[in-house]
Amino acid sequence: MSAPLKPSSMETLPRPSGLAGLAADWASDQRAFKNVSWGKAMMWIFLLSDTFIFGCFLIAYMSARMATTVPWPNPSEVFALEIGGVHVPLILIAIMTFVLISSSGTMAMAVNYGYRRDRRKTAALMLITALFGATFVGMQAFEWSKLIAEGVRPWGNPWGAAQFGSTFFMITGFHGTHVTIGVIFLLIIARKVWRGDFDTERRGFFTSRKGHYEIVEITGLYWHFVDLVWVFIFAFFYLW
């Protein structure tokens, strides 16, 4: 009876090609996420699932708007403000969009300084990003209050199709919740960066490894996603 072959003497099986090779790589984790941490990979998976949810909301909005026989309210009139006696359409929405897009720039700079181990600039830029986000949520709360005072409800509004109120509160409310959660996480991570938790290996959430600033980038991925979603909401809901 021949002796069993040693691992070093076994023949290497050929790697399958095409879709079979892709499936083998993912199943054995030989190439998939090879240079990506699980934290970053899981954030991408979460953002992908969130994309489906926002996509369903926007598709539902477009379907409701095209299917209704009742006239749809004109966004330029509904979301206008009176400034100095002048009727200015979409001015608040334009400012909100500018604030949120600007926050993407400060978040990108925070990630850059994070990988440079410049904790003071990283923390400061994350705080500025959180301030932008809080400002956006505050303006959205003002927008909600104004429309509610004018009679807009999830089941109706004084300007036309009843679906306007339900889709507006659902889509903007869901997005505003994401922004609020992002602001909270920005403040938490900024505090940890400012205290030097990533440099001293201070035990706690997200700070178990010394010099591990990747959580700043992961937070940035979430924040950029929230900003990108707002671009689609702005285009479909306010400009259409």
The tens digit of pLDDT for each residue in 6-36 reads: 544 444 556 677 777 666 665 655 545 566 6
Contact status, residue 233 vs residue 58, Cβ threshold 8 Å: yes
Place of tokens 């706690």: 204
Count up the domains in the chain and report the number.
1
pLDDT at 27: 60
Strands (E), 17-101: 81-83, 86-88
Q: Is residue 88 part of a domain?
A: yes
Residue 27 in domain: no
78 domain-assigned: yes
- Position 28 in a domain: no
Per the document, the length of the chain is 240
Averaged confidence pLDDT in the chain: 85
Residue 13 lies in a domain: no
Q: Determine the pLDDT at residue 207.
A: 60
For residue 238, CA distances in Å to 29, 49, 74, 75, 137 come to 44, 25, 9, 6, 17
The residue to which tokens 């505050």 are assigned: 138
Give mean pLDDT, residues 155-180: 92
- The encoded tokens of residue 224 equal 């950029």
Q: Is 195 helix (H, G, I), strand (E, B) or coil?
A: helix
Give the pLDDT band of residue 186 (cuts 50, 70, 90).
Answer: very high
Q: Is residue 60 part of a domain?
A: yes
- Here the CATH number for the domain that contains residue 184 is 1.20.120.80
- pLDDT of amino acid 201: 65
Average pLDDT (140-152) is 93
Residue 9 belongs to some domain of the structure: no
With tokens 């700070």, the residue in question is 207
**153: which strand partners?**
156
* pLDDT, mean of residues 183-210: 78
Residue 154 lies in a domain: yes
User: What residue numbers bound the domain in which 68 lies?
Assistant: 34-238
Answer whether residue 209 shows pLDDT above 70.
no
